[in-house]
């Protein structure tokens, strides 16, 4: 208690030079001395310390009320109310005389001196009176500050005495809570004592009066010193498990974590981290996420449900679900969507995954907004909230920008990431954060050349669609890994980049083989029944869980085969290998909002383009063999001459049939036909966007070095394009081949695509071949 006694002694010295009487310094000094005695006695006798504390608290309460009254009087006089001030002084004098049994006589020499001074000053002008009142106000503020000190010291006395008592008896007292508890550090909330509560109220009044003066008082320093001392007590209180108020003040606001069920991916592998280029589990072993991405949860929220996730885990072999929340599209988080509903869907998804022991990715799905900085402030607020909520969870990962595109540079993405990452790390220092890369998350080479530094557990996204992105992009991924950065394929499909067209199982299998070889994690797009190739559920199926094999799309069945869980979809069976570490190969951009009516009351989203990525050159498709030249019919052999009868003459030999001529070989150069189809249109409020697919087909022979021209009814600009080289010039767009489709073999076709925008009516485009 010596430190507390030293503080009280300093408080006593601060009262030297002030008189006695109604302002109470002597009484306060007596009270302080009583507290010193309490400190000395606290270690020995808990009951006496508490009793003296309550007694002192009642005395403090009275002194605080007196202080509050004096503040009120001072304020009145400071406002220029001289008459009221004189009346107050007269009342004071009368009160002193009554208290001591004499009229207008001081209690002792000090009181006499004070009254004489008051009389002399009353005869002076109003400036003298004002000066005296300011002096009294200063004294009152010092008294108020000392009351705060006394309150703190008294609290420490009781707390330490109770702590010692509890240590010896190991019995809960229930009498004292955390003296330093509460997020605002309020001392009044710490002690269950009405007298101390009243004192706190009085202190509040004193603080308000002090603030009204708009000045600095020495008592401020005293309070700061007291608070500094109190910080030490906070550290001590934090170690007490029974200190509920302190726990409330210091705990991170996180949702309760549901323990992962036994044998599930999270229970087996725990919280993941990044070691070099590898994702590893809690034991430091290489680990691969093999998951599924939802479509936009604004349009297909019905697939975010417990039974769906359980089906994915038990029957498919999935260990992760990616929750795709669009930021910029129709009904996106920042473009008119119901933010509360969207966050609820995300929260529900995290809860379902947690209950099932699955990993989950919270995806800020940048696409139509192109540059993540477009809605940076909203992203920062969102990830601050999410990371605070899930800081204690072992299964939550964050993808902070899905597919930067439209000319967004790596410098743009990196600067955005360097503002968002610290907000997540402040709440969850060990969180895994995936950062998208430019050109629809393909330019991992740019991130490899200039990675984000200063943080652990950072990964970089790569997205592919197997029928568009082939060896070139696979090689780019491998080069980035070899350069030292960890890659996460947070989205992929096996059709073309538009999400449509045919599935390319051969290229899809090649991607799976390379990703397994380098332990790259991946999530396939997408868990919905949208009428497009990339959807995992058949468009004719309205079920949201427990799908049979026939209710899956072709890509859905392929992916189940890739995961190799050896469970018949829809059977309700569960593979005992629930940690989902198996891998395998399947048998022999599509992340755009759907125009399909969801099976909920959520309004259907208009058809938004499937955002293609700039393709890496796929392998040139094999040229179908030229039809074999029909075989020349064999010349029938000359029939053997019949045996010559003894008398008739030998008949003439039949004529040898003529050999049919070989047909002419096909022409070496065929003709190219082209057709154009509109596959969607939308508006961003200032421009109208149109998506087109151009089909190019060779007939009558191979066609090389082709050129196709599209003519529009108005001037257009190109927003996105794929599978060709595109040049806009006024009303027209010229398309030339890339290396892998520079020759179109006879009888085969290619699809190329583009998105253009304009501010006028586009009319009906025409396409010609040159």
Which residues are catalytic, by number? 403, 491
d(CA 525, CA 535): 7
Query: What's the helix, strand, coil split of the chain in %, to 5?
Result: 40, 15, 45
Closest alpha carbon to 317 in 258, 358, 272, 348: 358
Asked if residues 275 and 304 have their Cβ atoms less than 8 Å apart, the reply is no
d(CA 469, CA 616): 5
> Which CA distances in Å does 479 have to 53, 122, 469?
73, 92, 16
Tokens of 381: 């607020």
Segment holding 90, helix H or strand E: helix 82-99
Mapping DSSP onto H, E and C, the string for 118-184 reads: HHHHHHCCHHHHHHHHHHHHHHHHHHHHHHHHHHHHHHHHHHHHHHHHHHHHCCCCCCCCCCCCCCC
Neighbours of 16 (CB within 10 A): 8
- DSSP code for 286: B
d(CA 205, CA 238): 30
Q: Using a CB cutoff of 8 Å and minimum separation of 24, what contacts does 77-86 make?
A: 77/129, 77/130, 77/133, 78/130, 78/133, 78/134, 78/137, 82/126, 82/129, 85/129, 85/133, 86/122
Count Cβ atoms within 10 A of the Cβ of residue 264 and give its class: 0-12 exposed, 13-18 middle, 19 or more buried: buried
Segment holding 319, helix H or strand E: none
Segment holding 288, helix H or strand E: none
> Which CA distances in Å does 149 have to 7, 536, 647?
8, 68, 154
d(CA 138, CA 17): 13
Residues linked to residue 698 through DSSP beta bridges, in sequence order? 672
Whether residue 26 is preceded by a cis peptide bond, meaning omega within 30 degrees of 0, is: no
Segment holding 374, helix H or strand E: none
- DSSP code for 375: G
Tokens of 628: 């074999």
Asked if residues 740 and 692 have their Cβ atoms less than 8 Å apart, the reply is no
Segment holding 333, helix H or strand E: none
Asked if residues 36 and 157 have their Cβ atoms less than 8 Å apart, the reply is no
Phi, then psi, of 505 in degrees rounded to 5? -70, -35
Asked if residues 38 and 151 have their Cβ atoms less than 8 Å apart, the reply is no
The residue count for the chain: 770
d(CA 351, CA 256): 10
Phi, then psi, of 286 in degrees rounded to 5? -55, 135
d(CA 74, CA 626): 109
Segment holding 296, helix H or strand E: none
């Amino acid at each position: 208690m010596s430190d507390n006694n030293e503080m009280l002694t300093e408080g006593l010295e601060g009262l030297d030079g002030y008189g006695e009487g109604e302002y109470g310094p002597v009484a306060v000094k007596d009270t302080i001395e009583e507290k010193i005695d309490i400190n000395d006695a606290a270690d020995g006798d808990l009951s006496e310390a508490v009793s003296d504390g309550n007694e002192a608290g009642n005395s403090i309460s009275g002194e605080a009320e007196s202080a509050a009254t004096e503040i009120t009087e001072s304020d009145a006089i400071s406002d220029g109310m001289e008459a009221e001030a004189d009346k107050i002084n007269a009342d004071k004098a009368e009160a002193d005389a009554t208290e001591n049994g004499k009229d207008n006589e001081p209690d002792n020499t000090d009181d006499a001196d004070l009254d004489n001074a008051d009389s002399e000053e009353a005869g002076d002008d109003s400036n003298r009176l004002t000066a005296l009142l300011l002096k009294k106000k200063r004294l009152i503020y010092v008294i108020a500050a000392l009351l705060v000190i006394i309150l703190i010291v008294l609290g420490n006395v009781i707390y330490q005495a109770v702590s010692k008592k509890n240590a010896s008896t190991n019995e809960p007292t229930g009498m004292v809570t955390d003296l330093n508890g509460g997020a605002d550090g309020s001392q009044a909330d710490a002690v269950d004592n009405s007298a101390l509560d009243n004192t706190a109220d009085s202190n509040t009044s004193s603080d308000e009066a002090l603030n009204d003066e708009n000045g600095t008082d020495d008592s401020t320093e005293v309070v700061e010193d007291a608070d500094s001392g109190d910080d030490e007590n906070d550290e001590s209180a934090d170690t007490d498990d029974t200190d509920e108020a302190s726990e409330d003040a210091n705990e991170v606001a996180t949702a309760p974590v549901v323990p992962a069920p036994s044998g599930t991916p999270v229970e087996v592998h725990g919280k993941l981290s990044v070691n070099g280029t590898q994702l590893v589990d809690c034991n430091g072993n290489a680990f691969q996420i093999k998951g599924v991405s939802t479509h936009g949860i604004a349009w297909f929220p019905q697939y975010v449900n417990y039974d769906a996730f359980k089906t994915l885990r038990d029957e498919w072999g999935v260990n992760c679900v990616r929750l795709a929340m669009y930021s910029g599209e129709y009904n996106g988080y920042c473009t008119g969507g119901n933010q509360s509903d969207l966050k609820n869907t995300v929260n529900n998804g995290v809860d379902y995954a947690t209950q099932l022991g699955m990993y989950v990715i919270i995806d800020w799905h940048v696409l139509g907004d192109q540059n993540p900085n477009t809605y940076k402030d909203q992203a920062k607020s969102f990830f601050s909230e999410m990371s605070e909520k899930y800081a204690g969870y072992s299964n939550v990962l964050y993808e902070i920008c899905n597919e930067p595109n439209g000319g967004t540079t790596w410098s743009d993405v990196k600067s955005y990431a360097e503002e968002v990452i610290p907000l997540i790390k402040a709440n969850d220092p060990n969180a895994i954060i995936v950062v998208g890369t430019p050109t629809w998350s393909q330019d991992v080479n740019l991130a490899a050349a200039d990675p984000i530094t200063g943080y652990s557990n950072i990964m970089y996204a790569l997205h592919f669609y197997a029928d568009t992105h082939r060896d070139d992009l696979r090689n780019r991924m491998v080069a980035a890994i070899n350069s030292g950065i960890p890659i996460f394929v947070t989205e992929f499909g096996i059709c073309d980049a538009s999400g449509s067209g045919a599935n390319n199982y051969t290229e899809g299998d090649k991607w799976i083989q390379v990703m397994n070889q380098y332990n790259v994690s991946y999530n396939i797009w997408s868990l919905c029944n949208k009428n497009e190739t990339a959807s995992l559920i058949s468009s004719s199926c309205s079920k949201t869980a427990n799908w049979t094999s026939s209710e899956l799309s072709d890509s859905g069945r392929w992916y189940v085969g890739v995961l190799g869980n050896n469970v018949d979809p829809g059977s309700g069976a569960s593979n005992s290998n629930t940690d989902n570490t198996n891998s395998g190969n399947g048998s022999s951009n599509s992340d755009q909002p759907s125009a399909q009516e969801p099976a909920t009351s959520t309004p259907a989203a208009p058809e938004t383009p499937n955002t293609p990525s700039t393709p890496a050159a796929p392998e040139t498709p094999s040229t179908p063999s030229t039809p074999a030249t029909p075989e020349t019919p064999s010349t029938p052999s000359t029939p053997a001459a019949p045996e010559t009868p003894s008398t008739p003459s030998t008949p003439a030999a039949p004529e040898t049939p003529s050999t049919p001529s070989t047909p002419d070989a096909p022409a070496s150069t065929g003709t190219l036909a082209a057709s154009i189809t509109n596959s969607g249109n939308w508006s961003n409020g200032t421009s109208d966007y149109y998506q087109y697919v151009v089909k190019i087909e060779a007939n009558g022979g191979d066609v090389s070095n082709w050129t196709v021209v599209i003519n529009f009814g108005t001037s257009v600009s190109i927003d996105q394009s794929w599978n060709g080289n595109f040049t806009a010039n006024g009303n027209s767009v010229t398309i030339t081949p890339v290396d892998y489709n520079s020759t179109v073999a006879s009888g085969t076709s290619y699809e190329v695509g583009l998105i253009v925008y304009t501010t006028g009516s586009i009319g009906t485009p025409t396409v010609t071949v040159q």
